[in-house]
Amino acid sequence: MMPISTTGVLAEFYEPADALAAAAKVRDAGWTHFDFLTPFPVHGLDEAMGQKRSWIPWATAGLALGGILFAQGLQNYVMVYDWPMNFGGKPHAAWPSFVPVTFEAMVFWAALGSAAIAIIAGKKDTVPQPPPGIETGATVDRFVLWIAATDPKWHADGAQQFARSLGAGNVRLIDGGADV
């Protein structure tokens, strides 16, 4: 097993408002390789961290539209041109009967396409995360600031002092997968 070489500083906050204020201060101080690990979504944290809005919802809308067009086109082709059948005297292009299949195709295309796009786009993440196995408490009751050593402003002592100046508790340096 290879040793983990990720290095950074972990700092804990205990209230979402404190984490939100700290995120804006970290961004304003010029740090670029940082992240917040939270037990639940914190409204406004993305904006406070300086992250731009995601383009994935637009891709999902396009995929949903593609699913709708595919389902309507296929059903209209089959039921009107290729193999028209008389169902109780109803018209061949009875779009209300096409709604269930259209809805399912829309959901299928949007869900699978968005998942694939998110996986591919997520590989471009530039902020290294804390090494696995480090107890952060972020999944339970803490809001954890992670400043990675890949940041251009990185200096271990400076990062720790900066995190303490934000009012964080339990500020610690993580080096090579172990607490220092």
Coil, helix or strand for 98?
A: helix
Question: In percent, how much of the chain has pLDDT > 70?
Answer: 91
What are the residue ranges spanned by the domains of the chain? 7-52+128-179, 56-122
- pLDDT at 164 (0 to 100): 92
pLDDT band at 62 (very low <50, low <70, confident <90, very high): very high
Sign of CA dihedral 161, 23, 14, 137: negative
pLDDT at 4: 44
Q: Report pLDDT digits (tens) over 119-133.
A: 888 766 666 777 777
Provide, rounded to the nearest whole percent, the portion of the chain with pLDDT above 90: 39
* Whole-prediction pTM: 0.68
Token pair in block for residue 140 = 């339970």
Residue with tokens 């040793």: 3
- Residue 3 confidence (pLDDT) above 50: no
Of 118, 121, 114, nearest to 67 by C-alpha is 114
Say if residues 105 and 70 touch (Cβ distance below 8 Å): yes
Q: Give tens-digit pLDDT for 72-121.
A: 999 999 988 888 888 788 788 888 889 999 999 999 999 999 999 988 88
- CA pair distance 40, 59, nearest whole angstrom: 25
Nearest to 168 by CA among 26, 7, 6: 26
- pLDDT, averaged across the chain: 86
